[in-house]
C-alpha cells in the first residue's frame, strides 16, 4: 500500500543483523556477570520474547525493569522491543514507594528485576493495582532441588523437565507455562530462567511487525520540574543515535569494546552499553557492581575496553583516587556527558592518563548526545559542535535568535527526539515545540560553531544586574590546587539581591583558605563574577546519576549563612 509506515525493529537492527552479517561467534557482551556471543544473544532474545508472550505480555504494553547491568538485563530490553512491547528500565536507586509511583504511572503488569532489588520491587508491586507478575533473575526462594518448589502437579498435566526447569504441559500439548511462586498479595513470581526455558520450548518469537515510529523505550527523567516523567522513544530513534553520534563521532567499529560507568537505565548508559556497541558488532562490558574508582580500574585491567564513558563527577573521582596512570592503556577515547566537563578536570585527566576526553551534551528527551567535541578536535570547556543529523539554535526569552557569544536558550531538533512525555500534556507542549526540543540549558555559540554551557537556565545568577554563569566561576575554582569539587549557586542577601556563593570540597591533604580562593577568582575573572562567600563542605550532594543537586546546595547555603531560602 502506498504510504505504508516503514517496517523496522530496533532489536533486529542491533542483534539479528549482526548474526546475518556473519558475526555470530563474536563476543556481544562480557563482564563479571557472564559472556554471550552474538548468536547466543540472538537466541536468548528470541526465546525470552516468546516466554514473555506466554506470560501474557502484549505488543505496545510496558514492561518495567529494575535491574543491575548484566547479560539478563540486555536480553530483557532487547526481547521486549523484539516482541513490540515497550521497555521501561528505571533507576535502581529508588525505594519501594518511589518505584510504586513510577509503576502506577507506567501501568505495567509485568516487572523484571534482579535479586538485589527484590524487596523494594515487591513493596512497589504490592501497592500498584495493575502489577501482577514479577520475573526475577536467579532461583526463586521457594524452589526445591527438584525444581517444583514443593508444589504438587495438577493431575491433568504432565511434568516436563527441560534445562533444569520444571514446566507443565496441558494435555493437548499446546499450553506451556513455568511453575511459579505466589506472594501473599497474589503476585505471580517467576524465575527469569523459567521464562527463558518456556520460550525455548514454545519456539523463538519472530519479530513483531513494528514500524519505525512504533514505541520502543520509555526513560524516566526529572528534568527541570523535579517530577519524574517518561520520555517516550521510537524504534527509529535508536537507529538514529547509532548512525549519528555512534558512527560519526565515536567512529565505533566491531573491534571496539565499550565500558560505561553510567548504568543501563540512563539514556547515556543505554546508548553506551547497548545501542552503540551492538549496532557496530562490537563488545559491551557490563558490571552489576556499583561503580567505584577501584572497581573501574579493575574492570579496565581485566576487560581492556577501548571506549570509556563516564560523567564529570566520576572523572574527578578517578583523579582524586589516584588511579594508576597505566589503567587507561587500552582506551582509545574517553567520553564525558551528563553535565559540562570543567576544562581543568579535562586537563588533569588527559595529562595523567594520556587519553583524550570528548565532552558532549545530550538529554533523556533526545536519547543521547547531540552536541559534542570530536576526537582530535577538542576545545576544553565547551560542549563542542552540533552532531551530524541534528540542528541547534539559541533564542532569547522573546524567541528571537541571539548573536554569536551571547547567551540564549538552547533548542535542538533531530530524529532521535522523544515523541513527548507520557500523560504530561502541558509539560510536553512546553518542552517539545513542534520539531524543536527546548533543552532548558543556557549556552553561547562561538563564531566557528562551538557551544559553551552557562548552566541550566534556572541556575544562572544575576549579580549586580549582570548575568553570571556558575560554571565559569566553578572552572576557575577548580584550577586552584586546594579544590577537588565545587558548586556555585545564588543566594539572596538581606537586601533581596542575588550574589554568587561557592561551596567547595577540599582536595585530599589540602586546607581551603576562603579568602585566598575569592582573591584567586577575582584575579582570573571579572570582579562581579567572584563568589562573595566560600563555604567548605565534606561532600557535594548529588543525584543518583552523579549530577550536583544545586537546589539542595542552595538550601545548605541559606542555612549556613542564616539567610532566607531562595524560592
Enter the C-alpha cell of residue 327.
589503567
Pair 368, 503 in one domain: no
Pair 305, 445 in one domain: yes
Q: What is the mean pLDDT of the chain?
A: 88
Using the 3D structure, point to which of 456, 475, 505 is the last residue of a domain.
456
Per DSSP, which regions of 311-407 are E strands? 333-336, 357-362, 369-372, 385-386, 390-395
Distance of alpha carbon 157 from alpha carbon 155, whole angstroms: 5
Q: Return the higher-pLDDT residue of 428 and 180.
A: 428
**CATH code: domain of residue 57:** 3.40.50.980
Domain annotation covers residue 385: yes
Q: Return the higher-pLDDT residue of 173 and 495.
A: 495
pLDDT value of position 459: 80
Using the 3D structure, point to which of 402, 434, 456 is the last residue of a domain.
456
Distance of alpha carbon 56 from alpha carbon 133, whole angstroms: 10
pLDDT value of position 495: 59
Paired strand residues for 503 = 487, 535
Q: With contact defined as beta carbons under 8 Å apart, do 198 and 246 qualify?
A: no
Pick from 112, 67, 104: nearest CA to 85: 112
Domain annotation covers residue 158: no
Pair 481, 435 in one domain: no
Domain annotation covers residue 190: yes
Pair 412, 306 in one domain: yes
Pair 403, 429 in one domain: yes
461 Cβ partners below 8 Å, 6+ apart?
A: 467, 468, 469, 470, 488, 489, 490, 498, 499, 500
**Dihedral angle sign, alpha carbons of residues 404, 477, 498, 312:** positive
Pair 440, 302 in one domain: yes
Reported as a pLDDT band with limits 50, 70 and 90, residue 456 is confident
**Half-sphere exposure of 85 toward its Cβ, with a 13 Å CA cutoff?**
29
Q: How many domains does the chain have?
A: 3
Q: Flag whether pLDDT at 492 surpasses 60.
A: yes
**CATH code: domain of residue 412:** 3.40.50.12780
Q: With contact defined as beta carbons under 8 Å apart, do 501 and 561 qualify?
A: yes
Domain annotation covers residue 279: yes
Pair 94, 19 in one domain: yes
Lowest pLDDT segment from 260-274, 359-373, 457-471, 537-551: 457-471
> Which alpha helices (H) appear in 83-117, and where do they start and end?
96-106
pLDDT value of position 180: 55
> Could you give the 3-state DSSP secondary structure of residue 10?
helix
**CATH code: domain of residue 513:** 3.30.300.30
Domain annotation covers residue 416: yes
Residue linked to cell 509511583? 101
Lowest pLDDT segment from 40-49, 281-290, 498-507: 498-507
Distance of alpha carbon 159 from alpha carbon 153, whole angstroms: 7
Pair 448, 472 in one domain: no
Pair 252, 373 in one domain: yes
Distance of alpha carbon 128 from alpha carbon 120, whole angstroms: 12
Pair 190, 246 in one domain: no
**Full residue range of the structural domain in which residue 361 is found:** 235-456
Q: What is the percentage of the chain residues whose pLDDT exceeds 90?
A: 73
Enter the C-alpha cell of residue 500.
554568587
Lowest pLDDT segment from 114-118, 507-511, 544-548: 544-548
Q: Flag whether pLDDT at 548 surpasses 60.
A: yes
Domain annotation covers residue 55: yes
Residue 303's H or E segment, with its range, is helix 293-303
Residue 472's H or E segment, with its range, is helix 470-477
pTM: 0.81
Domain annotation covers residue 215: no
> Which alpha helices (H) appear in 377-469, and where do they start and end?
425-431
* pLDDT per position as a tens digit, 66-112: 999 999 999 999 999 999 999 999 999 888 988 999 999 999 999 99
Pair 436, 498 in one domain: no
Domain annotation covers residue 5: no
pLDDT value of position 496: 64
DSSP state for residue 457 in the 8-state scheme: G
pLDDT value of position 467: 67
Distance of alpha carbon 229 from alpha carbon 232, whole angstroms: 9
Pair 419, 474 in one domain: no
498-506 and 483-492 beta bridge pairing: antiparallel
Q: Flag whether pLDDT at 32 surpasses 70.
A: yes
Using the 3D structure, point to which of 456, 483, 502 is the last residue of a domain.
456
Across the range 288-311, mean pLDDT stands at: 96
The helix/strand count (H/E) of the chain reads as 17, 30
Distance of alpha carbon 359 from alpha carbon 433, whole angstroms: 26
pLDDT value of position 1: 46
Residues in the chain: 567
Distance of alpha carbon 335 from alpha carbon 384, whole angstroms: 12
Amino acid at each position: 500500500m502506498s504510504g505504508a509506515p516503514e517496517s523496522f525493529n530496533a532489536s533486529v537492527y542491533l542483534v539479528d543483523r549482526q548474526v546475518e552479517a556473519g558475526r555470530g561467534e563474536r563476543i556481544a557482551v562480557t563482564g563479571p556477570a557472564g559472556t554471550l556471543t552474538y548468536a547466543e544473544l540472538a537466541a536468548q532474545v528470541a526465546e525470552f520474547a516468546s516466554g514473555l508472550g506466554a506470560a501474557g505480555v502484549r505488543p505496545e504494553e510496558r514492561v518495567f525493569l529494575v535491574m543491575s547491568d548484566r547479560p539478563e538485563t540486555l536480553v530483557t530490553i532487547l526481547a521486549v522491543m523484539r516482541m513490540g512491547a515497550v521497555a521501561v528500565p528505571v533507576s535502581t536507586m529508588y525505594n519501594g514507594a518511589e518505584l510504586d509511583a513510577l509503576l502506577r504511572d507506567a501501568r505495567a503488569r509485568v516487572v523484571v528485576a534482579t535479586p538485589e532489588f527484590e524487596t523494594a520491587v515487591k513493596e512497589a508491586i504490592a501497592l500498584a493495582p495493575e502489577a501482577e507478575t514479577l520475573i526475577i533473575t536467579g532461583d526463586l526462594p521457594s524452589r526445591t532441588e527438584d525444581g517444583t518448589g514443593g508444589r504438587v502437579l495438577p493431575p491433568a498435566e504432565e511434568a516436563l523437565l527441560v534445562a533444569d526447569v520444571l514446566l507443565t504441559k496441558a494435555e493437548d500439548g499446546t499450553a506451556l507455562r513455568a511453575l511459579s511462586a505466589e506472594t501473599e498479595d497474589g503476585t505471580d513470581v517467576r524465575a527469569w530462567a523459567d521464562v527463558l526455558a518456556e520460550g525455548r520450548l514454545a519456539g523463538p518469537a519472530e519479530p513483531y511487525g513494528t514500524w519505525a515510529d512504533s514505541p520502543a523505550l520509555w526513560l524516566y527523567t526529572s528534568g527541570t520540574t523535579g517530577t519524574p516523567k517518561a520520555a517516550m522513544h521510537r524504534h527509529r530513534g535508536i537507529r538514529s543515535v547509532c548512525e549519528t553520534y555512534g558512527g560519526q563521532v565515536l567512529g565505533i567499529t566491531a573491534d571496539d569494546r565499550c565500558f560505561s560507568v553510567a548504568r543501563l537505565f540512563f539514556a547515556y548508559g543505554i546508548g553506551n552499553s547497548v545501542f552503540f556497541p551492538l549496532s557496530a558488532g562490537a563488545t559491551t562490558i557490563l558490571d552489576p557492581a556499583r561503580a567505584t574508582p577501584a572497581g573501574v580500574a579493575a574492570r579496565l585491567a581485566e576487560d581492556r575496553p577501548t571506549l570509556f564513558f563516564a560523567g564529570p563527577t566520576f572523572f574527578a573521582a578517578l583523579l582524586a583516587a589516584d588511579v594508576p596512570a597505566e589503567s587507561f592503556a587500552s582506551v582509545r577515547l574517553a567520553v564525558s556527558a551528563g553535565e559540562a566537563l570543567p576544562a581543568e578536570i579535562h586537563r588533569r585527566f588527559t595529562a595523567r592518563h594520556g587519553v583524550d576526553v570528548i565532552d558532549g551534551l545530550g538529554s533523556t528527551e533526545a536519547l543521547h548526545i547531540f552536541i559534542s567535541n570530536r576526537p582530535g578536535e577538542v576545545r576544553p570547556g565547551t560542549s563542542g559542535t552540533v552532531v551530524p543529523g541534528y540542528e541547534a539554535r539559541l533564542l532569547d526569552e522573546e524567541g528571537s535568535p541571539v548573536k554569536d557569544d551571547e547567551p540564549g536558550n538552547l533548542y535542538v531538533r533531530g530524529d532521535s527526539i522523544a515523541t513527548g512525555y507520557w500523560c504530561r500534556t502541558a509539560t510536553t507542549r512546553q518542552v517539545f515545540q513542534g520539531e524543536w526540543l527546548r533543552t532548558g540549558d543556557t549556552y553561547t555559540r562561538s563564531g566557528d560553531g562551538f557551544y559553551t554551557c552557562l548552566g541550566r537556565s534556572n541556575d544562572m545568577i544575576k549579580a549586580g544586574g549582570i548575568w553570571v554563569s556558575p560554571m565559569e566561576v566553578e572552572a576557575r575554582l577548580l584550577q586552584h590546587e586546594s579544590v577537588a569539587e565545587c558548586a556555585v549557586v545564588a543566594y539572596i542577601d538581606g537586601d533581596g539581591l542575588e550574589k554568587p556563593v561557592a561551596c567547595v570540597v577540599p582536595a585530599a591533604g589540602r586546607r581551603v583558605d576562603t579568602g585566598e580562593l575569592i582573591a584567586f577568582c577575582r584575579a582570573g575573572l571579572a570582579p562581579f563574577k567572584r563568589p562573595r562567600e566560600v563555604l567548605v563542605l565534606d561532600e557535594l550532594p548529588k543525584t543518583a546519576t552523579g549530577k550536583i543537586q544545586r537546589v539542595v546546595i542552595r538550601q545548605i547555603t541559606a542555612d549556613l549563612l542564616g539567610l532566607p531560602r531562595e524560592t
